[in-house]
Chain A
Amino acid sequence: AQSVTQPDIHITVSEGASLELRCNYSYGATPYLFWYVQSPGQGLQLLLKYFSGDTLVQGIKGFEAEFKRSQSSFNLRKPSVHWSDAAEYFCAVAASGGSYIPTFGRGTSLIVHP
């Protein structure tokens, strides 16, 4: 079975600073990988996903993530954080084949200081 580890429970950055949220997965074959964002009172929103091809994936809101097979990682990055980016971020992995239902990590809470 697949699993996801998000080692950072909280991350604090200053507005305008760069951001990297870590995600490591466990899965025997090539995984399907996702990043979601959850703002208070809102549903989860898909930021980006990796299924195949280019390992650097561009998403919405200026986010990108890089799939590194050798490190079993799919870290999320943003060059300049805005106060509105403060939210909970979830990495998820799905098995290739089957129903592709994602297994989520526990999440990283992003705090943005002005």
Chain B
Amino acid sequence: GAGVSQTPSNKVTEKGKYVELRCDPISGHTALYWYRQSLGQGPEFLIYFQGTGAADDSGLPNDRFFAVRPEGSVSTLKIQRTERGDSAVYLCASSQGPLSYNEQFFGPGTRLTVL
């Protein structure tokens, strides 16, 4: 079946603009995760949803970052007043349930460039 998909694959924006990044998880996966991967670094956790609610948002760097998952499926990561330091690849992953028993499946990422 289909894997995790992310749109757009690339996004170029100007400093100060607002952007939305979309993640479509694998059908039936209740858990969804957002990570940010800067150049030369490993993925850095941002936020985790279990169903519609954010179970852990401790990785969001500041209040410019926000994510929603209103129907427990598709999620949108929203970044306000973008800064050049926000440039990175934003990864989404989903799992069937808790990671103690289930594997995370990652999407290909959205490369965000802030000029």
Q: Contact flags (1/0) for B57-89 with A, using CB distance below 8 Å?
A: 000000000000000000000000000000000
- Check B99 for interface membership: any CB of A closer than 8 A: yes
Q: Which of A65-73, A75-83, A104-112 contacts B (4 or more CB under 8 A)?
A: A104-112
**Chain A nearest CB: distance from B62 CB in Å?**
19
B115 sits at the interface (CB 8 A): no
- B-side residues, CB < 8 A to A, are 3-4, 33, 40-45, 48, 55-56, 91, 93, 98-100, 103-109
B99, B105, B108: the one contacting A94 at CB < 8 Å is: B99
Does A46 lie within 8 Å of B91, measured CB to CB?
no
State the CA gap A107–B39 with chains docked (Å).
Answer: 11
Selected A-B contacts with CB under 8 Å, 13 pairs: A41-B108, A43-B4, A44-B93, A46-B104, A92-B42, A99-B55, A99-B56, A100-B100, A101-B33, A101-B56, A101-B99, A104-B44, A107-B42
Do most interface residues of chain A lie in helix, strand or loop, or is the interface mixed?
loop
Set of chain B residues within 8 Å of A49, measured between Cβ atoms: 103
Rounded to whole Å, the gap between the CB of A43 and the closest CB of chain B is: 3
Given contacts A104-B43, A107-B41, contact A43 B98 (CB under 8 A): no
Given contacts A92-B42, A101-B48, contact A44 B106 (CB under 8 A): yes
Main secondary structure of the interface of B (DSSP, over half): loop
Do A43 and B99 form a contact, CB below 8 Å, given A104-B42, A106-B40? no
Whether, in the assembled complex, A58 has its beta carbon less than 8 Å from a beta carbon of chain B, the answer is: no
Residues of A within 8 A of B41 (CB): 106-107
Given contacts A43-B4, A99-B55, 7 further A-B contacts (CB under 8 A): A43-B3, A43-B106, A43-B108, A101-B48, A101-B56, A104-B44, A107-B41
